[in-house]
Amino acid sequence: MIRIKCPFCGERDHSEFTYGGDASIVYPALDASAEEWHDAVFLRENIRGMQSETWHHVNGCRMWLVVQRDTVTHEIRSVRPAHEATAKLFAASEEEVA
Amino acid sequence: MSAKRLSEGGRIDRSKRIRFQWDGRAMSGHPGDTVASALLASNEKVLGRSFKYHRPRGIMSCGVEESGAIITVGEGAKRDPNVKATMQELYDGLVASGQNAWPNVRTDVGSVNSLISQFLSAGFYYKTFMGLPPFETGKGTGIWMWYEKFIRKAAGMGRASREPDPDQYEHGHLFCDVLVVGSGPAGMSAALAAAEYGLDVILVEQDNELGGDLLGQKGSDIELRRTELVGALENAGVRIMTRTTAFGLYDYGTAGLLENVTDHLASPDPHLPRHRFWTLRARRTILATGGIERQIAFDNNDRPGIMNASAGRIYLNRYGVLAGEQVVVATNNDSAYRCAMDLSDAGAEVTLLDARAKIPGRLLELIGDRGITLMTNSAPLSAKGLNGVNSLEIAGGKAGGWRSKGKEVCDLLLVSGGWSPVVNLISHRGVRPVWNAENCCFIANEPHEGICMAGTAAGIWNTADCEDSGTAAGEAAAKALGKATGSGGASTSMPAVGGWDMPIKPLYEVRIDGRKSKALVDPQHDVTTEDIRLAHREGYVSVEHLKRYTTLGMSTDGGKMGNIIGLALMAEALGKEIPEVGTTTFRPPYTPVSIGALRGRSVDEHFRPLRRTPMHDWNLAHGATMTMAGLWHRPWYFARQGETITEAYIRETETTRKTVGLCDVTSLGKIAIQGPDATEFLNRIYTNPFAKLPIGKARYGIMLRDDGFVMDDGTTWRLSETDYFMTTTTAHAGKVMVWLEELLQTRWADLRVHVTSVSEQWAGCAVAGPESRTVLKNCVNDPSVMEDSAFPFMGVIETSLKGDIPCRIARISFSGEMAYEAYVPSDYAHALMEMLHPEAVAVDGCLYGLEALGALRIEKGHVTGAELDGRVTIEDAGLGKMASQNKSYIGSALRRRPDMTREDRPKLVGIFPVNRSEKFNAGTILCKKGEVSGLGEGWITGVTHSPALGHWIGIGFISGGHEAWSGKTATAADPVRSKEVQVEIVSPHMYDPSGERMYG
């Protein structure tokens, strides 16, 4: 059972979340070519080690999160909100605490 | 008589008698007994039959590693096979029986198998049924399938009940600072040390009492120490869970626990679950799981009357049973000396064989002048006696091997081949145990993921050292959790591995070259030493392959009894050392977990959650028969007196087309989309333009996935500049919500849009048919809002019903009639129906359910989740004109891939039977006429009787669509029901194709 520290809810069982996918994918503009879209939708690295991935706290706060997880050990290095502006707010408040 | 109950001693209550049945015979025991100890006290020798050879088996141990006394407990629906008699506590009225035997375990016809045992060696089935040499007749899948029927019948241990499980099971969740598994000296000390630092500690013990090894030792000082520790644990606030097994360790300190709640009770409280399945999350874990004593392989080492040395001692000290009167104890290590002493003190005549040549003085002092015959450099060679050992041929060591050196009469043979620390749980975490040659065992003592080993589980043999190691582990956990800092804390150091007076002598098998022997390695699966050597001769070198070929360690004990011997023999055969051969991976569960415990309460109607609409009760009160739609309970049809379902839905369909029908549509997904960029957002996710949707209008929209296939459809209503109300299909409501959240949070963080699921907040009713406007007009506060000019097709109004019930209505149609969908806040659902229904009845309208809804939409060729199954493009669904050419949207790039735009793709069509009186089925495949084969040319997703057309019609997909099939006949083939119907392929718009009725 992976335990994920949701920035909004605290540490929870992974069964509260659903796995999204590779968080490093940058989706092209809607009017980009089919080739660009093909690469973004279908091409994936099969990473052994630390991977950046999205998780959805679907049975919790329903926020999408970016999780740095080791695919071998399941160690989670960091969790942040996927929404960039929100993530920045969190980073700022963490700095304040520090 | 040989085994007997002593008149005193042990932890049983002789003042009370417990009656139970064994194989149909009345037996008795005392509180504190297990089935095994009670049967042993009654001198029952044969309690089981082995898997392949049906060899007689008795009690071999007194714990979870038991591989002989495997029995069936309970009757009827409560019959539970493969219970270890050594773990089953006795209760009044318990019914137990032997298994894998006929007519019973004592006289078993199947034992003829042992006469042909040489043909049943490892890989027997593979070899035989791959073909019989020399011509390999009887080869191939067909013949294997034929053989398999008989093999399946002969295989398997015990029979599970075929009746539904009458017991209840529960799931629970636990959190703690420190989890300690095992309550021997090490576990209790560890729990105490951690608790004394104020930590929240849970101590888990599979036994019914705390104490572990202390329970099997003799002496009042031992019991005093045990009760002292138990008292201290209780005072320190340690949460103690007995009869609870930690069966698996998972990521992040998660442990799976199985608590046996009632299996030991004669008449449990019916409200109690039988088992509880706990998911425990601990910050630190200490494994004080002890060790399991090993056997030694020698000829007939599985005969009843041969057991682990420690078991003989525990039956004596804990259960007051002297298992034999003339006892041979055979060992290669120090631990069996205590056993020999205790049995001798209890009156047995004891001969002690030690495989080691020289015995240190301290051990000799221990046995003292008890009259124990000590034979050094000696080991068991061959046991005699079929249904109970009656003598032992003894082997004496000589250079490079063994020789026979005479016989010893005995009725009990206790063997200690060394100890294996229980490293199963730490192995679950991917840790590979390391071979410790000095102590002849695998250990895994490197701390890993906050898990630490203590006591015998860490390869520490002495009770005092075990206590110290527990204390050290408890203190280390406290330190890691920020307690026990400073000079005062964490002062105990971890004792070194080992602790015997004299090293163990590696000894796994005793045999004389050239002499035939039947020496069992894994007694449960009848894996012999010869099977291992055979596997080696046949080319198996990997221990993982060896395991699968011979099935070594794959029985219900999970290799606890025989794995190490198997490895040692494989290493010997390969000419390697044990660490080079390695060990197989232990996986959860450590001991069997009942299927019931896994499912918990998720069974029957609780198998999955149930969703009811707020008009559920109202629907039922008005005659609805319900059906499941996903998780939803929805009205299926509203039968009147004497009506069948077909009659009911045909009447509901006709009535709706003629006057008006009302249908609960609450289960549709509803999402509030709000914010300054809501319009832009909708324009990106829908294929059709939303940028210019006026306030007060609704639009039907299709959304695609990134890969260009259709995700869902629905209508979206514009309520204000920044406020939209989206409806989705019932099936895809959850998925669409997740998708919108993903887009807004991960891709388009710049869009100022909020999405909120309001499916539960709004109850909806479709009002469909020519009289729909009349009905609503009589319900709203201000009838003028319903005028055609004020409220045209695809219009949206927010208004109030009589009684000032807030309401939003859109003039949209799924039925093809002039129709509205009216939504009220859920609390008003009942009031809404109470208001609409009399008005509908007044114009001869009715209620309709899912079946009529299906008929109405199939007539119109409207798609649902059955059609939008994730393989369908927007063109396939016949909705290509809804794909904008003037904007980009999700899926617009990839929907034009060559294979997705092929002309011969299956496209949405209507289906008529050529002979209009014929009926056909949904799920049928569509083939070219007379060419019924393979996947065919298409498939049918929905079938209904069409009252409007007067015959059966269908909707589905077929290659090329209806244009490609015009003038041709197709065959609707239903091979399962052996039915074929000739059909015509028509446009999906089978009724009112121009939509005149809808515009009203």
- The arithmetic mean of pLDDT across residues B902-921, rounded, is 96
- The arithmetic mean of pLDDT across residues B787-801, rounded, is 96
Measured in angstroms, the CA of B894 and the nearest CA of chain A are apart by 6
Superfamily of domain B295-417: FAD/NAD(P)-binding domain (3.50.50.60)
Task: State residue B108's pLDDT score.
Answer: 80
| Residue B925 vs residues B540, B920, B942, B975: alpha-carbon distances, Å | 49, 11, 12, 9
Measured in angstroms, the CA of A3 and the nearest CA of chain B are apart by 6
Inter-chain contact B888–A1, Cβ cutoff 8 Å?
no
B294 DSSP assignment: -
Q: Of the CATH numbers 2.40.50.140, 2.60.40.650, 2.40.30.110, 3.30.390.50, which one belongs to the domain with range B902-999?
A: 2.40.30.110
Tell me the pLDDT band of B52, cut-offs 50, 70 and 90: confident
Chains A, B: CB pairs < 8 Å: 71
User: By the 8 A CB rule, do B300 and B518 touch?
Assistant: yes
Tell me which amino acid residue B709 is: F
In the predicted structure, residue B287 carries a pLDDT above the cut 50: yes
Inter-chain contact A56–B251, Cβ cutoff 8 Å?
no
User: By the 8 A CB rule, do B640 and B623 touch?
Assistant: yes
Task: State residue B1's pLDDT score.
Answer: 46
- The arithmetic mean of pLDDT across residues A23-41, rounded, is 96
CB of A31 within 8 Å of any CB in chain B?
yes
In the predicted structure, residue B150 carries a pLDDT above the cut 70: no
Q: B563-567 — which CB contacts under 8 Å span 24+ positions?
A: B563/B420, B563/B522, B564/B294, B564/B418, B564/B420, B564/B441, B564/B442, B564/B508, B565/B294, B565/B295, B565/B296, B565/B297, B565/B417, B565/B508, B565/B509, B565/B521, B565/B529, B566/B521, B566/B522, B566/B527, B566/B532, B567/B543
- d(Cα B835, Cα A57) in Å, to the nearest integer? 41
Inter-chain contact B281–A56, Cβ cutoff 8 Å?
no
DSSP bridge pairs for B676: none
- The arithmetic mean of pLDDT across residues B875-901, rounded, is 95
Considering only CB atoms, which chain A residues are within 8 Å of B684? 30
- The arithmetic mean of pLDDT across residues B132-139, rounded, is 55
In the predicted structure, residue B139 carries a pLDDT above the cut 70: no
Task: State residue B126's pLDDT score.
Answer: 62
Among B695, B687, B738, smallest CA distance to B714 is for B687
User: By the 8 A CB rule, do B738 and B744 touch?
Assistant: no
Which of B128-142, B475-489, B672-686, B721-735 shows the lowest mean pLDDT across its residues? B128-142
User: By the 8 A CB rule, do B932 and B940 touch?
Assistant: no
Give me the residue from B741, B746, B747 closest to A62, CB to CB: B741
Contacts (Cβ under 8 Å, ≥6 apart) of A68: A50, A51, A52, A76, A77, A78, A79
Considering only CB atoms, which chain B residues are within 8 Å of A23? 746
Give me the residue from B250, B707, B745 closest to A64, CB to CB: B745
Give me the residue from A41, A63, A84 closest to B894, CB to CB: A41
Query: Fold for domain B515-576?
Result: Arc Repressor Mutant, subunit A (1.10.10)
- d(Cα B321, Cα B9) in Å, to the nearest integer? 9
CA triple B45-B46-B52, angle to 5 deg: 150
Measured in angstroms, the CA of A95 and the nearest CA of chain B are apart by 23
Considering only CB atoms, which chain A residues are within 8 Å of B897? 34, 38
B304-346 residue pLDDT tens: 999 999 999 999 999 999 999 999 999 999 999 999 999 999 9
| Residue B562 vs residues B47, B240, B953: alpha-carbon distances, Å | 20, 32, 66
SS3 of B137, please? Answer: strand
CA triple B14-B232-B477, angle to 5 deg: 125
Query: Fold for domain B1-162?
Result: Ubiquitin-like (UB roll) (3.10.20)
Tell me the pLDDT band of B158, cut-offs 50, 70 and 90: confident
Q: What percentage of chain B reaches a pLDDT higher than 90? A: 84
Which is higher by pLDDT, A69 or B137?
A: A69
Task: State residue B366's pLDDT score.
Answer: 85
- d(Cα B58, Cα B678) in Å, to the nearest integer? 75
What's chain A's length in residues?
A: 98
Dihedral sign from CA coordinates of B549, B553, B557, B561 = positive
- The arithmetic mean of pLDDT across residues B662-674, rounded, is 97
Inter-chain contact A1–B684, Cβ cutoff 8 Å?
no
Inter-chain contact B738–A58, Cβ cutoff 8 Å?
yes
Domains of chain A plus CATH, in order, are 3-97 (3.30.2270.10)
CB of B888 within 8 Å of any CB in chain A?
yes
Inter-chain contact B279–A1, Cβ cutoff 8 Å?
yes
Which of A83-92, B451-460, B809-818, B864-873 shows the lowest mean pLDDT across its residues? A83-92
In the predicted structure, residue B53 carries a pLDDT above the cut 90: no
- d(Cα B147, Cα B159) in Å, to the nearest integer? 21
Task: State residue B141's pLDDT score.
Answer: 63
Task: State residue B2's pLDDT score.
Answer: 83
Inter-chain contact A82–B746, Cβ cutoff 8 Å?
yes
- d(Cα B340, Cα B347) in Å, to the nearest integer? 11
- The arithmetic mean of pLDDT across residues B920-924, rounded, is 93
Task: State residue B140's pLDDT score.
Answer: 62
Q: Enter the tokens of residue B53.
A: 């050879």
Q: Do domains B1-162 and B295-417 have the same CATH topology?
A: no
Place of tokens 């329903």: A62
Inter-chain contact B738–A54, Cβ cutoff 8 Å?
no
Q: What is the 3-state secondary structure (H, E, C) of B765-793?
A: EEEECCCHHHHHHCCECCHHHHCCCCCCC
Which of B191-200, B601-610, B729-738, B750-759 shows the lowest mean pLDDT across its residues? B601-610
- The arithmetic mean of pLDDT across residues B689-696, rounded, is 95
Tell me the pLDDT band of B765, cut-offs 50, 70 and 90: very high
Tell me the pLDDT band of B152, cut-offs 50, 70 and 90: low
User: By the 8 A CB rule, do B315 and B397 touch?
Assistant: no
- The arithmetic mean of pLDDT across residues B487-499, rounded, is 82
User: By the 8 A CB rule, do B346 and B324 touch?
Assistant: no
B930-945 residue pLDDT tens: 899 889 999 999 999 9
Which of A8, A16, A62 to probe the B interface (max B CBs under 10 A)? A62
B624-644 residue pLDDT tens: 999 999 899 999 999 999 999
Domain boundaries, chain B: 1-162, 169-291+421-480, 295-417, 515-576, 670-758+872-885, 902-999
Give me the residue from B252, B707, B897 closest to A3, CB to CB: B252
- d(Cα B974, Cα B969) in Å, to the nearest integer? 16
Query: Fold for domain B169-291+421-480?
Result: FAD/NAD(P)-binding domain (3.50.50)
- d(Cα B691, Cα B724) in Å, to the nearest integer? 12
Among A67, A86, A94, smallest CA distance to A11 is for A67
Residue B21 burial (CB count, 10 A): 14
In the predicted structure, residue B422 carries a pLDDT above the cut 80: yes
CB of B749 within 8 Å of any CB in chain A?
yes
Residue of A nearest to B256 (CA): A1
Interface confidence (ipTM) of the complex: 0.97
Q: Enter the tokens of residue B75.
A: 């009757």
Q: Enter the tokens of residue B802.
A: 């009589």
| Residue A24 vs residues A17, A82, B742, B891: alpha-carbon distances, Å | 19, 11, 14, 20
Tell me the pLDDT band of B143, cut-offs 50, 70 and 90: low
DSSP bridge pairs for B891: none
Q: Which strand (E) or helix (H) includes residue B996?
A: helix B996-999
Burial class (CB in 10 A: 0-12, 13-18, 19+), B383: buried
Q: Work out the mean pLDDT of chain A and round it to a whole number.
A: 93
Contacts (Cβ under 8 Å, ≥6 apart) of B461: B334, B335, B419, B498, B499, B500
B68-118 residue pLDDT tens: 999 999 999 999 999 999 999 999 999 999 998 878 888 887 777 777 776
> Which pairing describes strands B698-704 and B710-720: parallel, antiparallel, or unpaired?
antiparallel
B842-859 residue pLDDT tens: 999 999 999 999 999 999
B214-227 residue pLDDT tens: 999 999 999 999 99
Inter-chain contact B281–A1, Cβ cutoff 8 Å?
yes
Measured in angstroms, the CA of B757 and the nearest CA of chain A are apart by 11
- d(Cα B56, Cα B302) in Å, to the nearest integer? 8
Residue B377 phi, psi (nearest 5) = 55, 35
The reply to whether CATH 3.30.70.1400 applies to domain B670-758+872-885 is yes
Q: Which strand (E) or helix (H) includes residue B657?
A: helix B645-658
Q: Enter the tokens of residue B900.
A: 């997705």
Measured in angstroms, the CA of A1 and the nearest CA of chain B are apart by 5
